[in-house]
Structure 1
Amino acid sequence: MNKTRIAKWMVTVSVTAAVLGGLVASTKTAQAAPKLKLEYKNDKSAKKDATLRIGYADDGSFKGVFSPELSNDAATSEVSQFGTVGLFKVDDNYKFVKGGLADVDFDRENKTATIKVSDKANWSDGQPVVARDLVFAYEIIANKESGSARYTDQLANIVGMEEYHAGKADAISGLEVKDDKTLVVHFKEMAPTMGTSGAGYIWEYAEPYHYLKDVAMKDLASNDKLRKEPLFYGPFKIKKMVQGESIEWVPNTYYSQKPKVKKLTVETVSTSQAAAAVKAGKYDILLNQTPQVYDAVKNEKDFVQLGKPMLYYSYMGFRVGTVDKDGNSVMDKTAVTKDRALRQAMAYAMNIDQVQEKFGYGLSYRANTLVPAAFGKWNDKHATGYKLNMKKAKALLDEAGYKVQKDGYRTQPNGKKLTLTLMANKSSKNFEASVKNYIQQWKELGVRVKLMNGRFQEFNSMSEKLISGAKDFDIWMGAWSTSSEPTDVAANYSKTSAYNFGHFVTKENTELINSLSSEKAFDENYRRKQLYKWQEYMNKEAFIVPMTFTHSTISVSKDVKGMTLDVSDSDTLWSNVALTK
């Protein structure tokens, strides 16, 4: 599985839905990770009528809203990847190339993108994918009644998109349907990253207009046509499902390439049971392994381990703002975390390296910025991030007027009690132990931190709180699988992004984000320089504190054939995977 490519429908607008609870390790122990292979070669002959059994390691359940425009949980993207695929083919650098279910060409002079849908793209009910289906996907995102969190500044760059989003127009004027198979997208301005998958300027998925057009926008996410009987244009379609737990997939007979297995089953398995399930031979492939599971199964003789550096980072976030009536982020002058000195001090008090040496199993290490190291030259390697420095952390609070009381805890500079509420999801024992460790570190600093309601939160309810702009927490632990365009990582923290969960908004941040898509940014050196400035600025402000980078790994039975993590093969991956036993 190519995790970044498969998760791409979650991150096209610059993120994948929150993948909270990632555990990770120090740079010293992470040196073993590059030995992981991208592909498993099996020269045996594929067997006919085989059933491919896939496990997805997760401690929650998938929501099962089978729409890239409306789903917000990573689990649903993982279990739906067999039917939900991107329209466009990409190369190893995530650049659009010819040969996908649709092709795209950009015209910088005329500020357009022309999308041509291939005749080989068909819905699982036999209807062809047409240009109107692409337009419909944009409409779902832009229509406020749908509840989509995918609307972004990049999509607002399409002519007429803002008017439609505001309810002032019945159609998006910049989406011009030339014929059934051709859509011309008109932009206000061209951007240097438009030709990269995941940059967010074009939406890379379609929705079946003929099937969903009679469902009200406000009812789409809850309608059975998306929850129980969705259509797909990928290689498989759903035959039966236990909501939130398992899905049985069978070939989409209208897909251009016949899958090599008769059916495919995917089910969630708790992280505590995942290793035992692999050892018992319950699955042919295990996806979404935690480092702990990897460590437990890496020497199993009947399995191979595939892996690669992940476009991912985990982080600690501070809620410093709220949401206005238009859904935009605004700073909250009353937020107890508004003080940068407090945020920096709490970051310096975290012993991330030590935690990862214990729980990362050689796969993960402390992050230095919010741009994953997997992006190579786009990560500012001169940035150090936040190493443990309790002396500096205490000095910051002393200087800022946070006074230590007899009980060892500090007051705010105004003399009021300082207690922060932390929201973290219920996950593996290792993750929960690491969070409790950080709470103890903050206690040593003199900052009282309590888990929300005294416990770890259920993932989906926590996600809903973050997306809705709730104000009953001060800090949260989270992670993102990012877009495949490095500069787009910053867009997640714009004023209008629904995923700016901390609601941090400053003039400088806005200017830096805008510079990444400016006319000057067509010069790659300028664009990289500006991204370095943004990384430095975000580290200084510390409203989102980078914690870890990691490698994704999967267990693959030696009876599996055709399994690869090569991004250039991801569009045909699941139609090529077979079993030899």
Structure 2
Amino acid sequence: MNKTRIAKWMVTVSVTAAVLGGLVASTKTAQAAPKLKLEYKNDKSAKKDATLRIGYADDGSFKGVFAPELSNDAATSEVSQFGTVGLFKIDDNYKFVKGGLADVDFDRENKTATIKVSDKANWSDGQPVVARDLVFAYEIIANKESGSARYTDQLANIVGMEEYHAGKADAISGLEVKDDKTLVVHFKEMAPTMGTSGAGYIWEYAEPYHYLKDVAMKDLASNDKLRKEPLFYGPFKIKKMVQGESIEWVPNTYYSQKPKVKKLTVETVSTSQAAAAVKAGKYDILLNQTPQVYDAVKNEKDFVQLGKPMLYYSYMGFRVGTVDKDGNSVMDKTAVTKDRALRQAMAYAMNIDQVQEKFGYGLSYRANTLVPAAFGKWNDKHATGYKLNMKKAKALLDEAGYKVQKDGYRTQPNGKKLTLTLMANKSSKNFEASVKNYIQQWKELGVRVKLMNGRFQEFNSMSEKLISGAKDFDIWMGAWSTSSEPTDVAANYSKTSAYNFGHFVTKENTELINSLSSEKAFDENYRRKQLYKWQEYMNKEAFIVPMTFTHSTISVSKDVKGMTLDVSDSDTLWSNVALTK
């Protein structure tokens, strides 16, 4: 929901398999996706002073850093969406339109964006949202001491951003505060996707400068002002919280539209207990359902199922590089995974179709590229991705010199033992069973793969390890909830991106990524063709192997009024949701 609009988030990976033993190759296609509604219409009158109870299905805990500039986990994004909202209103195609808490106008000739903050935008302490608050959000991202992972090539396109990021300037010269309500952003170059939410060229949030200015950048992420007593300019504010588990929200009295419920509670619930909680009537809304939970509750008479294709992909990644002193990715010539034949072979050995066909309930299916099918024409439908082909997988390794030994495992072409360390997050029994299934598939291939430290990793710890550039793993399994701009998927894997966790860097990859924001890319057909080329290139290199696409679903009680998944209503959603009983 909130996370799919304006930023990319790491999400836990889960599948719906109950038992994965005995899966065999099949040529059948995945089940047809069920017909899902975007909204639920309830014509009954809203109840006064109601409490809306929301569950968030997840096997981890939310970190609770309530600033998008510093937060990386999808769970925090979801449980904070009632107070953390985007500044700009968007249409069904994620294009900026007028009428938000701020409006933006782009001037291609003068290479600027003018942002006007509305008088109706106020912090939950009563102070107005001002242009300085927008500038402060950029400063948090660009200041290395803050620890933000949000600094990107797109934001570096702002005049003076690189100098500030490098510590050579005390201010970002390209952020011009005209008055309290007007910010002019000066760019080095204009890009064709600037008018799309999620493209990343302008940041779509603000932070309260008057409240946080005395907190050192290095202390922001751990400070109580962001973790326990944050300010919001959305419809709700936090009243009380159990860190990582639950939050009680009450209306922000300074928000322009009074919410229709008196109180809103949100709590995490494990995927194994989520279905039972819905059936017991514990929640009015359940967010972030796995396909297995959906299947268990889809026929509940007191609930309706809303859903849509998700801007999401799960993947297997190979660590092929490291980071230099400036934080940029560089290839590691000594990495075992540097061999493309090995990466391709391991991808061909995975039986993803069989897992999803048997246990995906029509919601999840094997991905063909790294660009989610939810992006429609931007996904290259001619790409096939990696279907199970053990014969081809073995042939690739044979030809590359990986010789099978008496124990059934292969050695490297140089004769050294081949053992790969896999990092995967601790999740449901279903996901963990699927990972063990893939390890068995690789065993058949002759590649020994072991879980890091012999166990699955806690999600937040695994996330920190990926962001920090650790070198004690060779492969990992992850997932992204992407932004709403398809070309931003590619930008994730640039040389300077903090989210290029495998540190894959080649001249061709860089050129393809840069072409997506070039002058030629103002021609949409050119931009789409270049994105197709990038998808083909990434599939060939198999540094990141696409695994699955899915549909997002939520359970909504029939006593709920005003619930919708329409992105054009996302800015006012939670002030309009009500209960009728």
Give the TM-score band, short-chain normalised. over 0.9
Q: Give how far 1:12 is off.
A: 19
The answer to whether the Cα contact below 8 Å between 1:25 and 1:355 also exists between their aligned partners in 2 is no
What's the offset of the Cα at 1:357?
1.6
Q: Does the Cα contact within 8 Å between 1:157 and 1:201 map onto a contact in 2?
A: yes
- How far did residue 23 of structure 1 move? 16
Give 1:5 deviation, angstroms. Answer: 2.8
Aligned to 2:440: 440
Shift of 1:38: 0.3
Structure 1 residue matching 2:492: 3-state secondary structure: helix
TM-score, reference length from structure 1: 0.97
Distance change >3 Å, CA 522–CA 8, structure 1 → 2: same
Residues of 1 paired with 2:90 and 2:516: CA distance?
A: 22
Contact map agreement 2:86 2:204 (CA 8 A) in 1: yes
* 1:520-562 deviation digits (Å, cap 9, x = unpaired): 0000000001000000000000000000000000000000000
Cα distance change, pair 238–270 in 1 and its aligned pair in 2 (3 A): same
Runs of 4+ with >4 A deviation: 6-32
Relative distance call for 1:144 and 1:22 in structure 2 (3 A) is farther
Change over 3 Å in CA distance of 1:93–1:483 after alignment to 2 = same
Give the C-alpha shift of residue 429 in structure 1.
1.1
SS of 2:129's equivalent? coil
Distance 1:155 1:513, change over 3 A: same
Q: The residue matched to 1:65 in structure 2 has which SS?
A: coil
Deviation at residue 358 of structure 1 after TM alignment: 2.4
How far apart, CA to CA, are the structure 1 residues paired with 2:18 and 2:155? 21
Query: Could you tell me whether the CA contact under 8 Å between 2:317 and 2:502 is conserved in 1?
Result: yes
Q: Are the aligned partners of 1:56 and 1:268 in contact in 2 as well (CA < 8 Å)?
A: yes
Structure 1 residues 16 and 273: alpha-carbon distance in aligned structure 2, compared to 1, 3 A threshold? closer
Contact kept in structure 1, 2:9 and 2:481, CA below 8 Å: no
**Partner deviation per Cα, 1:230-261 (whole Å, 9 max, x = no partner):** 00000000000000000000000000000000
Contact 1:422/1:450 (8 A) holds in 2:
yes
Report deviation, 1:361. Answer: 1.3
CA shift digits 1:116-153 (9 cap, x unpaired): 00000000000000000000000000000000000000
Deviation at 1:430, TM superposition (A): 1.1
Structure-1 separation of matches of 2:372 and 2:499: 18
Q: Distance in 2 between matches of 1:325 and 1:14?
A: 35
How far residue 359 of structure 1 moved from its aligned partner, in angstroms, is: 2.4
| Contact 2:36/2:306, CA 8 A, preserved across alignment | yes
Q: Is the 8 A contact 1:20 1:479 kept in 2?
A: no
Asked if structure 2 preserves the Cα contact closer than 8 Å seen for 1:378 and 1:531, the reply is yes
C-alpha distance in structure 2 between counterparts of 1:482 and 1:15, whole Å = 19
What SS is found at the alignment partner of 1:60? coil
* 8 Å contact from structure 2 (residues 124, 253) kept in 1: yes
Contact map agreement 2:57 2:287 (CA 8 A) in 1: yes
Alpha-carbon distance in 1 for matches of 2:253, 2:17? 30
Deviation at 1:199, TM superposition (A): 0.2
What TM-score do you get using the length of structure 2 for normalisation? 0.97
Instruction: Find the aligned partners of 1:163 and 1:237 in 2 and give their Cα distance.
Output: 36
CA distance in 2, matches of 1:483, 1:545: 19
Deviations 1:417-442 (CA, angstroms, capped at 9, x unpaired): 00000000011111111100000000
Question: How far, CA to CA, are the matches of 1:395 and 1:315 in structure 2?
Answer: 23
Q: Deviations over 1:194-233 (max 9, x none)?
A: 0000000000000000000000000000000000000000
CA contact (8 A) 1:22 1:431 kept: no
Say if 1:80 and 1:25 are closer, same or farther in 2 by CA, change over 3 A: farther
Residue correspondence of structure 1 range 407-418 to structure 2 within 5 A: 407-418=407-418
Measure the CA separation in 1 of the matches of 2:463 and 2:288: 19
Asked if structure 2 preserves the Cα contact closer than 8 Å seen for 1:9 and 1:205, the reply is: no
SS at match of 1:30: coil
Contact preservation (8 Å) 1:14, 1:198:
no
The answer as to whether partners of 1:117 and 1:129 remain within 8 angstroms in 2 is: yes
Per the TM alignment, residue 487 of structure 1 is displaced from its structure 2 partner at its CA by: 1.0
Gap regions ≥5 residues in structure 2: none
What is the alpha-carbon root mean square deviation over aligned residues?
A: 3.3
Change (3 A) 1:354 1:279: same
Percent of residue pairs identical: 100
Q: Call closer, same or farther: CA 1:11–1:497 in 2, change over 3 Å.
A: farther
Relative to structure 1, the CA distance from residue 349 to residue 455 in structure 2 (aligned partners, 3 Å threshold; closer, same or farther) is same
| 1:111–1:12 CA distance, 2 compared to 1 (3 A) | farther
Residues 297-333 of structure 1: CA deviation (Å, up to 9, x unaligned): 0010000000000010000000000011100000001
8 Å CA contact 1:21–1:477 kept in 2: the answer is: no
Contact 2:305 2:556 in 1 (8 A): yes
Contact in 2 for aligned 1:64/1:243 (Cα 8 Å):
yes
1:155–1:202 CA contact under 8 A, matched in 2: yes
Secondary structure in 2 matching 1:273: helix
Distance change in 2, residues 1:362/1:18 (3 Å): closer
Q: Give the Cα–Cα distance (whole angstroms) in 1 for the partners of residues 502 and 19 of structure 2.
A: 16
